[in-house]
């Protein structure tokens, strides 16, 4: 706000509207808006908005004008302080989105000004402009619209990893019943399709009849609400008591992969230990894979994602696109049970 404050002091007779106009003339695009977290806590309380000067890309880096960024549960979890050992304050949230290269640092080759890319590997998408190493930027095909391109990373690539993990566990045998919790979530719907494609029998687990009805519009398989079916494996994003109940019921020789904790609680470790001979329990975090996979492998997975988005089965429903200045409204909508799809931010 420093420039705004200076103008308001220098021209005390100006109305707010005039201060804003002069601010935009003075800044000439050098100032941008960004979301910032300076203390851990409830995302709606601690994510602020501020104006700041754009940086300059260094050697091997590019500057990207963000066109669309997604709002995912995984953007908000670090804000609460859940991963404070690896989250340095202050930081700009947002792990996923699409932008256009506006400046190239020294020594960057293979990328061009005007090219659309997905910058991955670190948070920072909830701001007007982002500087990232060129090696963490992946080209977006021209035929993909910004809205879907902005969601081509986190959920599709995690869904591929989860289905690969199940296939590896069952060593290519098919027909197993695989439960998917929070099955009407964006990633849940992708998993239902990918599991069926891989020869498994997906079982959708949802928490309410209303969600079951909504999911039935796009999924014709088994949908379970408020009971605990016997399953060969569970891909779980919920954890807590619901996760514990599913874990108890998994058939011997099965697997339980936890990749989220929407309930706010993990599985009971004593339970996991008690069944360790019968059920293979593991966590799966996309972040770990992305930071160890070769760039060519990540690029190949993006190609799979783009193909699935074009075909529709990896496209995510969109509830609302908010301007970055409307972030408080976006965060309120994220928690709204009537939300019907993803929220996007247009910085
Ligand atoms: N490990 C990783 O690397 C990784 C990567 C991607 C995603 N994830 C995780 O995957 C999960 C889903 O992400 P998303 O982007 O697909 O979310 P999303 O599209 O925003 O959907 C989340 C849905 O989950 C359901 N839900 C919320 N709390 C629940 C609870 N306590 N019990 C059961 N269902 C609940 C809600 O559906 P209803 O209100 O309709 O019931 C909600 O709409 C998140 O936990 C996220 O962190 C993890």
Show the domains of the chain with their CATH numbers. 2-151+316-346 (3.90.180.10), 155-288 (3.40.50.720)
Say whether pLDDT at 25 is over 60: no
Mutate to test the pocket of ligand 1, among 262, 286, 290, 316 (most ligand atoms within 8 A of CB): 262
| Cβ of residue 285 lying under 6 Å from some atom of ligand 1 | yes
Q: Which atom of ligand 1 is nearest to the CA of 77?
A: 47
| Cβ of residue 130 lying under 6 Å from some atom of ligand 1 | no
The reported pLDDT for the residue numbered 78 is 92
Query: Which of 10-19, 74-83, 224-233, 245-254 has the highest mean predicted lDDT (pLDDT)?
Result: 245-254
Q: If you take atom 2 of ligand 1, which residue's CA is the nearest one?
A: 285
Say whether pLDDT at 70 is over 90: yes
Say whether pLDDT at 208 is over 80: yes
The reported pLDDT for the residue numbered 320 is 98
State in Å: Cα 56 to ligand 1 middle: 36
Which residue has better confidence, 291 or 19?
291
pTM of full prediction above 0.75: yes
Say whether pLDDT at 14 is over 70: yes
Q: How many CB atoms lie within 10 A of CB 15?
A: 9
Quick: pLDDT tens for 262-277: 999 999 999 999 999 9
Question: What mean pLDDT value characterizes the chain?
Answer: 94
Alpha-carbon separation of residue 174 from 101, 167, 199, 257, 258 (angstroms) = 44, 8, 5, 18, 21
Nearest to 75 by CA among 134, 165, 155, 140: 155
Alpha-carbon separation of residue 266 from 32, 262, 290 (angstroms) = 38, 9, 23
Rounded Cα distance between 229 and 177, Å, is 10
State in Å: Cα 135 to ligand 1 middle: 30
Q: If you take atom 39 of ligand 1, which residue's CA is the nearest one?
A: 337
Q: Cis (ω within 30 of 0) for the bond into 90? A: yes
Q: Which atom of ligand 1 is nearest to the CA of 210?
A: 40
The reported pLDDT for the residue numbered 29 is 78
Rounded Cα distance between 66 and 166, Å, is 35
Q: Which atom of ligand 1 is nearest to the CA of 74?
A: 47
The reported pLDDT for the residue numbered 16 is 67
The two most distant CA atoms of the chain are separated, in Å, by 76
Quick: pLDDT tens for 71-96: 999 999 999 998 888 899 999 999 99
- Which segment of 3-12, 207-216, 259-268 scores lowest on mean pLDDT? 3-12
- CB contact at 8 A, 284 and 259: yes
φ, ψ at 233 (rounded to 5°) = -155, 160
Q: Which atom of ligand 1 is nearest to the CA of 283?
A: 1
304-309 long-range contacts, Cβ below 8 Å, gap at least 24?
A: 304/156, 304/160, 305/152, 305/153, 305/156, 305/157, 305/160, 306/140, 306/141, 306/144, 306/152, 308/156, 308/190, 309/144, 309/148, 309/149, 309/152, 309/156
Say whether pLDDT at 7 is over 70: no
Model confidence at 172, pLDDT cuts 50, 70, 90, reads confident
Q: Exposed (0-12), middle (13-18) or buried (19+): which is 47, by Cβ within 10 Å?
A: buried
């Amino acid at each position: 706000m420093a420039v705004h404050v200076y103008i308001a002091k220098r021209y005390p007779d100006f109305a707010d509207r005039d201060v804003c106009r002069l601010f935009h003339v003075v800044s000439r695009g050098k100032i941008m808006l960004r979301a910032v977290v300076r203390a851990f806590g409830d995302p709606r309380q601690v994510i602020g908005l501020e104006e700041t000067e754009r940086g300059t890309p260094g050697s091997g880096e590019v500057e990207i004008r963000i066109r669309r960024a997604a709002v995912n549960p995984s953007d908000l979890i670090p804000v609460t302080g859940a991963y404070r050992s690896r989250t340095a304050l202050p930081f700009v949230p947002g792990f996923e989105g699409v932008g256009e290269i506006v400046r190239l640092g020294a020594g960057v080759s293979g990328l061009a000004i005007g090219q659309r890319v997905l910058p991955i590997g670190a948070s920072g998408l909830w701001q007007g402009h982002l500087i990232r190493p060129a090696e963490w930027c992946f080209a977006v095909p021209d035929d993909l619209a910004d809205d879907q391109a902005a969601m081509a990373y986190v959920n599709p690539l995690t869904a591929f990893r989860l289905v690969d993990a199940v296939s590896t566990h069952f060593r290519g045998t098919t027909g197993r019943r695989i439960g998917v919790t929070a099955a009407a979530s964006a990633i849940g719907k992708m998993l239902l399709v990918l599991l069926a494609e891989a020869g498994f029998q997906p079982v959708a687990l949802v928490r309410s009849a209303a969600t079951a009805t909504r999911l039935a519009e796009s999924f014709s398989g088994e949908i379970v609400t408020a009971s605990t079916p016997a399953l060969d494996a569970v891909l779980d994003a919920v954890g807590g008591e619901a996760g514990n109940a599913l874990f108890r019921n998994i058939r011997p020789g099965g697997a339980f992969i936890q990749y989220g904790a929407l309930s706010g609680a993990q599985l009971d470790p004593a339970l996991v230990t008690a069944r360790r001979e019968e059920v293979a329990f593991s966590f799966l975090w996309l972040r770990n894979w992305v930071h160890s996979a070769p760039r060519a492998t990540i690029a190949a997975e993006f190609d799979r994602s783009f193909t699935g988005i074009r075909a529709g089965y990896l496209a995510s429903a969109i509830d609302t696109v908010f301007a970055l200045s409307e972030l408080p409204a976006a965060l309120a909508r994220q928690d709204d049970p009537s939300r019907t799809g993803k929220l996007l931010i247009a910085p």
